[in-house]
A = this chain, B = another copy of it.
Amino acid sequence: MSLDEAKTKPHDRLRAYLEADLEAVNGLIRARMASEHAPRIPEVTAHLVEAGGKRIRPMMTLAAARMCGYKGDAHQKLAATVEFIHTATLLHDDVVDESGQRRGRPTANLLWDNKSSVLVGDYLFARAFQLMVETGSLNVLDILSNAAATIAEGEVLQLTAAQNLATTEATYMQVIRGKTAALFEAATEVGGVISAVPDAQIEALAAYGDALGMSFQIVDDLLDWGGASGDMGKNVGDDFRERKLTLPVIRAVARADEAEHAFWTRTIERGRQEEGDLDQAMELLRRHGTLEETRDEALRYAGLARRAMARMPDHPLRDILADLADYVVARVN
């Protein structure tokens, strides 16, 4: 690794390596987003698809295919597929969460309305489906249809688990697998499948995608509590206010004494939150050490991801992806 490489963030190195592919994917996304009959569709999606998306999921597909020596253009179609599926779930999440902002821009449902978010999301799902059919690989279709079911199942599970103090760690893991890891896993796996590499390599790619996605989502949930040190920044506490049970809280609830349990019941289950409750919640997480434990869990998954990459043949992209796994957790203070 050169000094330059050491200083550059892994996702920037990934982007630089895949630049030509990414440009083709962006062209494909623009072309397939268009609708002859319904011009509102690109209006709604443009601000989601064009703006500021890190394209991390499509980069997984592109990187996996390139690492496996793929020659062709199906990897670009699948990368666009994966971004469309991701964008569609964001649109449907907008309806669900009544969230006001996403990526710093107004959400589609404020720019337009819930109707547009649901139906344009459906349109992107259908476009994703068309794109993957074009690759002509039943194996790819099988992987992506299973991922779609896991994603939808996870979203419904999250809904039923919300505000329920009895939510277990196993349920949480299933939720974040659907919410994030399933698409990361499928995105990476299909890059290997179209390259027709040996099964052991396809399994390593899938294992990498899953572990990276799990780590990514655990870190995201931890950052909502200000990271492992519980820094009370201005974006801290959204999940608490929305009464979402993530790993730090699930573990703290499991170890709560009677008074602590009453606190969680009032704030999360009954939703009767008062001034100072967020500080009190943070204090309970610190007391039981669940923020540090959550970081350890993210590190464990990052280690799994790194070790999965070690099962791949030598390649510059292999090293970048391995570094990316570490970098995801390094975001946490």
Contacts and interface: CB of A to CB of B under 8 A. Distances in A.
Contacts of A46: none
Nearest to A144: B129
A96 B156 CA distance: 19
Interface in A122-148: 122-123, 125-127, 129-130, 133, 136, 138, 141-142, 145-146, 148
A251 interface: no
A330 interface: no
Contacts of A130: 145-146, 148-149
A148 B125 contact: yes
Q: Which size class do A's interface residues fall under?
A: 35 or more
B155 A119 contact: yes
A123 B152 contact: yes
A145 B120 contact: no
A37 interface: yes
A87 to B, nearest CB: 13
A114 B97 CA distance: 10
Contact of A157 (B37, B95, B136): B37
Interface of A: 35, 37-41, 92, 95-96, 114-116, 118-120, 122-123, 125-127, 129-130, 133, 136, 138, 141-142, 145-146, 148-149, 151-157, 159-160, 171, 174
A38 B162 CA distance: 13
Given A35-B153, A138-B138, 15 more contacts: A37-B157, A38-B156, A92-B122, A96-B119, A115-B159, A119-B152, A119-B155, A122-B125, A122-B151, A123-B155, A125-B125, A125-B148, A130-B146, A133-B141, A133-B142
Given A130-B145, A142-B133, A123 B38 contact: no
9 contacts: A35-B153, A40-B156, A96-B115, A119-B152, A122-B152, A122-B155, A123-B149, A129-B129, A136-B138
A136 B126 CA distance: 19
Contact of A156 (B123, B127, B148, B151): B123
Nearest to A155: B119
Contacts of A35: 153, 156
Nearest to A157: B38
B136 A119 contact: no
A257 B289 CA distance: 76
Contact of A119 (B92, B126, B141): B92
